[in-house]
Amino acid sequence: MSKIAIMGAMMEEVDPFLELREHEPLLKHFKKHNDIEYGGNIYHEAKFKNHDIVLAYSKIGKVNATLTAATMIEKFGAEILLFTGVAGGINPQLKIGDLVAATQLCQHDLDITAFGHPHGYVPEGSVYVKSSTVLLQIAKKVAEEKNINLLGGIVATGDQFISDEAKKEWIRKTFDADALEMEGAAVAVVCDALRVPFFIMRSISDTADAGAVEDFDEFLKHSSQRSSSFILGMLDKIVDGQIK
């Protein structure tokens, strides 16, 4: 049986999986959990239909996301990683609450163009990291069953909260990106290097423009709930044997 990691960046993004009672997190959807502190973070180990689960939020940014994803794989033995959270929409077709499944991820703030490389390029690597084809297929099935319009698209990651129209358009055009966030590509690089299938789900909380801060604060909870609900639907199919 595969051990499955479920990860978000903020408490609000994993909160839908947790129920807070007297300031103690009790896993809502899972059983027999242990809370383990490691590297300044809390990891929840649990069972879901007899499959091992590890759940955590990393805190914001690429470095924190890298640390948490690597810990889930190397220390806790995760063999599949599912990421849930919110993002800014930069595809004009996206509106707040829409769901985006990352088909590829890139780092929009990685710049060594002075050496003749394209934006986002890493020597001995590539601009884009591709998500698991199998997990994307499972996501498509879940979307069909739930009658959800799921967009497969490119997600651009950087250590910046984008609320500037010009910067947003530059990222969209440079990377052909659909959504912006601050962790996904870092998780993708870790999983790709360690050969762990991964899936990054983002629900749109803002449109990365002048109103992004206000929209983000208002719609964070609702968008997080939509993303986590979808991840739970995928988890059902994974533990039922639809991925090996």
Give the catalytic positions in this structure. Answer: 13, 206
E strand spans, 11-128: 18-21, 24-27, 31-38, 41-48, 51-57, 80-89, 99-107
Rounded to the nearest 10 degrees, the angle between the axes of helix 133-146 and helix 212-237 is 100
Q: Please tell me the distance from the alpha carbon of residue 207 to that of residue 148, in angstroms, as a whole number.
A: 20
CB neighbour list of residue 78: distance below 8 Å, 6 or more residues apart? 3, 4, 5, 54, 72, 196
Q: With CA atoms as reference, report the closest residue to 227 among 168, 184, 176, 165.
A: 184
Q: Are 177 and 89 in contact (CB under 8 A)?
A: no
The residues, any chain, with a CB within 8 Å of residue 7's CB and separated by 6 or more, are 14, 55, 56, 57, 58, 65, 68, 69, 72, 81, 82, 83, 84, 187
Integer-rounded Cα Rg, in Å, for the chain is: 17
